[in-house]
Amino acid sequence: MMGNMGNMMKKVQEMQNKMQELQKELENKTIEANSGGGMVSIIMNGKHQVQSINIDPSLLNENEKDVLEDLLKAALNQAKEKVDEMSAEEMKKVTGGLPLPPGMKLPF
């Protein structure tokens, strides 16, 4: 019985180490999201940190303020969704396909 407990603890430790490695890997991975046919593009890393925003110069006038705000919001939301999908795929590799408990996300 104690041998099983020791094995289980070892596996938990291995999984924790793999998750820490995964968090570091995700920080170095980026995705790009666009809106308005590419008029606004955002690059975000796997930790949901915005790395860059590119805005088409034609949107930089007072009359296009509302459009620009909507496009930024759409691109940011798309970037977040892509990072969440990327994180979920990477997590499947670490957990062997076992899902995380509800409400538990990477990074912890």
Q: Is residue 63 part of a domain?
A: yes
Q: Is residue 4 part of a domain?
A: no
Contact 52, 43 (CB under 8 A): yes
Q: Is residue 79 part of a domain?
A: yes
E strand or H helix at 43, and its extent?
A: strand 40-45
Residue 2 is predicted with a pLDDT of 61
- CATH number of residue 58's parent domain: 3.30.1310.10
Q: Is residue 1 part of a domain?
A: no
Angle at CA of residue 36, ends 31 and 68, nearest 5°: 100
Residue 29 is predicted with a pLDDT of 93
Q: Is residue 9 part of a domain?
A: no
Cα–Cα nearest to 84, from 38, 56, 47: 47
Q: Total domain count for the chain?
A: 1
Residue 99 is predicted with a pLDDT of 62
Distance, CA of 85 to CA of 62 (rounded, Å) = 35
Structural domain boundaries enclosing 43: 29-84
Q: Is residue 40 part of a domain?
A: yes
Q: Is residue 54 part of a domain?
A: yes
Q: Is residue 76 part of a domain?
A: yes
Mean pLDDT by 10 residues, the chain (108 residues): 76 84 89 96 94 95 92 96 91 73 54
